[in-house]
Structure 1
Amino acid sequence: MTELSQIRQGALAPANTADVAEAMMSATGLRIDIDRRRGRGAGINMSGRFEPRSRETFDDGWESLEDLPPFKTEVQVEKPRTVITRNESPDISFDRSINPYRGCEHGCIYCFARPTHAYMGLSAGLDFEAKLFAKPDAPRLLERELARQDYKVRPIAIGTNTDPYQPIEKEWRIMRQILEVLRDANHPVMIVTKSAMVTRDIDILAPMAEKGLVRVGISVTTLDRKLARTMEPRASTPSKRLEAIRMLAEAGIPAGVLVSPIIPALNDHEIERVLEGARTAGATEASYVLLRLPLEVSPLFRDWLLRNYPDRYRHVMSLIRSMRGGKDYDAEFGKRMKGAGPYAWQIGRRFDLAVKRLGFNPTRRQLRDDLFVPPLGTGVQLSLL
């Protein structure tokens, strides 16, 4: 029985009428053939929300959809004027970040950064995973910005939007060059990644750690390899991420685990197991984020959930909405990361008890900012004085 038939016959009952309409659309017209999107997270590629026209792939009887090429990873060069992004969000711990890439080949279906691809006239769906942008000038621009006389040192966060260690980093090596600039300037940095590739740069990170300049967080969503492959198709396997934590810790690099996102009725039963595995590997800090479904992420996630876990669709979405004021997402500061309501409280309480039992977060280390030395490299304009 197809998903559409299940919906029509009542065997599969999404939470409300809007879900029924969207599920029926994705099951009939908007979903991309599996052979074209093999190895990708998203199943649809709807037009960006700023586009004046929407696009839909359908068979018009002249040529078969089977003749369309599969989605292949394409990388374009982006030339920004600056590389440090500032923010004033009251519920995050940093005020600046760097994103070496736009879009992410990991293809995590829940990625809250997906809607940013609309600013490029592209889809938050498959385009976000396949049409990527690299910023090879980022190290030079960073060098120039750090050399400004009015620059004030604060830790820079990397990996907060798209992963700096996604597969294309193997070829472009932009993240490594950025770390070299930060190392030479004794600048503090916080890194978040789902990739074991971070261990490639231990030779840079270990000396920085000795000076108290770096902290690395590894995001571990699940220990279920099958779920991870479906939900995060091109990210490192859970075992590889735990191994990365172990290698970082053994090299003296402060390593933490980010249990993110927690998805009710899908991976929330694993909270304690993930924390135990990370603690055994050597992680000393732990935090979590509840699933966030802003803008286009909501239909993408719902389509994914319907394709892969149709029997859980209604239950998962009902619990999500119970923590988001009856909506798929509530962007209110203070609530967007953790949610609200009894189920959100239960998740937070379980997490806190496990963290306390396992000895996480004894004293959070503050990265040093008193060792900073402004760079004098090729990307820096020298003073005329």
Structure 2
Amino acid sequence: MRWQGQTIDDEDADALPGLENRSGIVRSVDTPEFAGMTFHEVLAKSALNAVPAASRMPFRWTINPYRGCSHACSYCFARGTHEYLDLDGGADFDSQIVVKTNVVDVLRKELQRGSWQRETVALGTNTDPYQRAEGRYRLMPGIIRALADAGTPMSVLTKGTLIRRDIPLLVEAAKQVPVDVQMSIAMYDDALQRSIEPGTPSTQARLDTVRALTDAGFRVGVFLMPVLPHLTDSVAAIDEALRRIKASGADHVIYGALHLRPGVKPWFFQWLQREHPQLVSSYRGLYPGTSAEAAQAYRQWLARRVRPLVRVHGLDVRTEAEQVPAPRRSFSRVRDASRGAGPRFSVDESAAMLF
């Protein structure tokens, strides 16, 4: 998606790079309640994004109502995508948020096509659909309703506690289609959480959201990702994280080591140099050159450390090593006493590549 595909031809020489075509179709909004942030409102030509066939993702379709993310996670894999808009993957990614204001209307039209096969649609695979902008634009309720009305299963992955607003809507949707809900909670040290993902709700607020979703009947998974070498990979840190996850009522855990794609690596290393300079050389050894994955030996070591602890806490687990050909995914429905607990969740851990 590029700006030119969402606007009509009327150039504004004073616009931000990539935002030259305006004529009322695209506007930039600054508001006091979102100090330091600019929302670029665009008209999208499409809502459903096809995942490339060669991808290892366990889903074929996604919806991304926003680009850029106010969560400001230093490790976010999607930072590089802002460069396509002539914005940088650092401060611009955190504060220059693209909003597809017409995404619900476009989605409803796409779901009505005779060619639509009602395949699962994943939300939250690029930038978070429940980031701060959602409080202003309220796009998710329309997206959820459109998918449910069209008989389309959905999966929601978020760090945002704003999803609690939509729990009644998700419960209603789950009566029509399979609905999978997962919360990403990687940091269990409050100081580290504020440092590396300063725009996210607190860890406890997210755990409380897991509890609220669980109490509503969902089998909620927690993405314990990324695990940061030398920062969150000790036995004590992992054990504490799993204890709190279990106490929140979560059904399963998906874990994996930090990924550093080329578009995010420079920004992450800036954070690391500023906050933990003593670790820079070690991280360069674990992520040499353009390598996105931690060294295989480290990932194997991490699996040996995490798995026994997960079993101790009575949680189901999926790891990024558990790849399967032609991945498929099953989704949990809301529990309903009239029909039993429903199927157990399973997932191809290639979803780990999203973080």
Q: What is the correspondence of 1:175-186 to structure 2 with a 5 Å cutoff?
A: 175-186=140-151
Shift of 1:344: 1.0
Structure 1 distance, partners of 2:56, 2:173, is 27
Q: SS in structure 2 opposite 1:113? A: helix
Q: Is 1:353 aligned to residue 308 of structure 2?
A: yes
Deviating more after overlay: 288-297 vs 151-160: 288-297
Structure 1 distance, partners of 2:162, 2:216, is 15
Structure 1 distance, partners of 2:259, 2:230, is 15
Which residue does the alignment assign to 1:73? 37
Q: SS in structure 2 opposite 1:268? A: coil
Q: What is the correspondence of 1:40-189 to structure 2 with a 5 Å cutoff?
A: 72-87=36-51, 88-189=53-154
The answer on whether the counterparts of 1:117 and 1:124 sit within 8 Å (CA) in structure 2 is: yes
The answer on whether the counterparts of 2:148 and 2:176 sit within 8 Å (CA) in structure 1 is: no
TM-aligned CA distance change 1:251 to 1:175, over 3 Å: same
Structure 2 distance, partners of 1:105, 1:368, is 29
Over the aligned positions, Cα root-mean-square deviation in angstroms equals 2.3
- TM (norm. structure 1) is 0.70
Which residue does the alignment assign to 1:228? 193
Which residue does the alignment assign to 2:218? 253
The residue type equivalent to 2:186 in the other structure is T
Match for 2:296 among 311, 333, 341?
341
Q: SS in structure 1 opposite 2:36? A: coil
Structure 2 distance, partners of 1:89, 1:350, is 31
The residue type equivalent to 1:244 in the other structure is T
TM-aligned CA distance change 1:159 to 1:365, over 3 Å: closer
Deviating more after overlay: 115-124 vs 289-298: 289-298
Match for 2:257 among 275, 286, 290?
290
Structure 2 distance, partners of 1:279, 1:317, is 34
TM-aligned CA distance change 1:349 to 1:208, over 3 Å: farther
Structure 2 distance, partners of 1:89, 1:209, is 30
Deviating more after overlay: 127-136 vs 82-91: 82-91
The answer on whether the counterparts of 1:186 and 1:213 sit within 8 Å (CA) in structure 2 is: no
Question: After TM superposition, which residue ranges in structure 1, 4 or more long, deviate above 4 angstroms?
Answer: 362-365
Q: SS in structure 2 opposite 1:287? A: strand
CA offset digits 1:55-87 (Å, max 9, x no partner): xxxxxxxxxxxxxxxx82000112221111111
Which residue does the alignment assign to 1:276? 243
Which residue does the alignment assign to 2:289? 327
Which residue does the alignment assign to 1:299? 266
CA offset digits 1:324-382 (Å, max 9, x no partner): xx33524xxxxx5xx4422210112222223333332389982389xxxxxxxxxxxxx
- TM (norm. structure 2) is 0.76
TM-aligned CA distance change 1:294 to 1:362, over 3 Å: closer
Structure 2 distance, partners of 1:170, 1:266, is 32
Structure 1 distance, partners of 2:331, 2:228, is 31
The answer on whether the counterparts of 1:77 and 1:134 sit within 8 Å (CA) in structure 2 is: yes
Q: SS in structure 2 opposite 1:359? A: coil
The answer on whether the counterparts of 1:195 and 1:241 sit within 8 Å (CA) in structure 2 is: yes
Which residue does the alignment assign to 1:367? 331
Structure 2 distance, partners of 1:94, 1:220, is 22
Shift of 1:301: 0.8
The answer on whether the counterparts of 1:192 and 1:216 sit within 8 Å (CA) in structure 2 is: yes
The residue type equivalent to 1:344 in the other structure is R
Rg larger in 1 or in 2? 1
Q: What is the correspondence of 1:188-199 to structure 2 with a 5 Å cutoff?
A: 188-199=153-164
TM-aligned CA distance change 1:289 to 1:362, over 3 Å: closer
Q: Is 1:313 aligned to residue 276 of structure 2?
A: no
Structure 2 distance, partners of 1:368, 1:343, is 32
Shift of 1:278: 1.2
Q: SS in structure 1 opposite 2:242? A: helix
The answer on whether the counterparts of 2:148 and 2:173 sit within 8 Å (CA) in structure 1 is: yes
Structure 1 distance, partners of 2:164, 2:204, is 14
Structure 2 distance, partners of 1:276, 1:183, is 34
Q: SS in structure 1 opposite 2:77? A: coil
Structure 2 distance, partners of 1:114, 1:89, is 22
The residue type equivalent to 1:352 in the other structure is R
Higher relative contact order (CA 8 A, sep 6+): 1
Q: Which runs of no fewer than 5 residues in structure 2 stay unpaired? A: 1-16, 19-34, 319-327, 334-355
Alignment coverage as a number of residue pairs: 289
The answer on whether the counterparts of 1:182 and 1:188 sit within 8 Å (CA) in structure 2 is: yes
Structure 1 distance, partners of 2:265, 2:329, is 36
The residue type equivalent to 1:77 in the other structure is E
The residue type equivalent to 2:171 in the other structure is A
Shift of 1:208: 2.7
Q: SS in structure 1 opposite 2:74? A: coil
